[in-house]
């Protein structure tokens, strides 16, 4: 996300219902000790926007991504790029079907320690982005 914010991608939204835990401190550059117990989406959004406040607008939604995908599909109407990280395969399948039907670019990211993958689904390449 940092690499999109620094050059001024424009607008993003982070969807995450979790609070910052001690485990996050070791793997997430954008949370600190004083972030413990706070909304992870809010803390990360605020810290990302600080990297390029003149060119980037960040927002957050404190909801479970699975809930949004299954119950609020119209949420995706305002975005062209959907970046999903660390979602389970059932949720990824539902999100992929939703993005395909709405002609959205879906970028799947999954990491397993030092290994991982990035997968792109769709052909639409313009607009705003939402991060999961």
Q: DSSP readout, 53-84?
A: TTT-EEEEE-S-HHHHHHH-GGGGGG-SEEEE
pLDDT in tens, 107-132: 999 988 889 999 998 755 555 555 55
Q: What are phi and psi of 11, to 5 degrees?
A: -135, 140
Do residues 67 and 18 lie in contact, with contact meaning Cβ atoms separated by under 8 Å? Answer: no
Check residue 57 and give its pLDDT. Answer: 94
Spans of the chain below 70 pLDDT: 123-132
Check residue 67 and give its pLDDT. Answer: 97
Please tell me the distance from the alpha carbon of residue 27 to that of residue 66, in angstroms, as a whole number.
22
Do residues 105 and 81 lie in contact, with contact meaning Cβ atoms separated by under 8 Å? Answer: yes
Check residue 35 and give its pLDDT. Answer: 95
Rg, the chain, Cα only: 14
Locate 107 and state its tokens: 């970028």
- Which helix (H) or strand (E) segment holds residue 110: the answer is strand 105-112
Residue in 79, 19, 12 with CA at minimum distance from that of residue 52: 12
């Amino acid at each position: 996300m940092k690499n999109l914010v620094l050059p001024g991608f424009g607008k993003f939204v982070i969807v995450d219902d979790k609070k910052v835990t001690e485990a996050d401190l070791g793997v997430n550059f954008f949370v600190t000790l004083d972030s413990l117990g706070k909304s992870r989406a809010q803390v990360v959004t605020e810290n990302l926007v600080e990297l390029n406040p003149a060119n980037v607008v960040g927002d957050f939604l404190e909801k479970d991504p699975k809930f949004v995908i299954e119950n609020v599909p119209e949420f995706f109407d305002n975005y062209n790029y959907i970046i999903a990280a660390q979602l389970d395969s059932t949720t990824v399948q539902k999100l992929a079907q939703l993005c395909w039907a709405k002609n959205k670019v879906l970028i799947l990211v999954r990491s397993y320690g030092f290994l991982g993958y990035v997968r792109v689904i769709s052909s639409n390449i313009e607009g705003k982005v939402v991060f999961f």
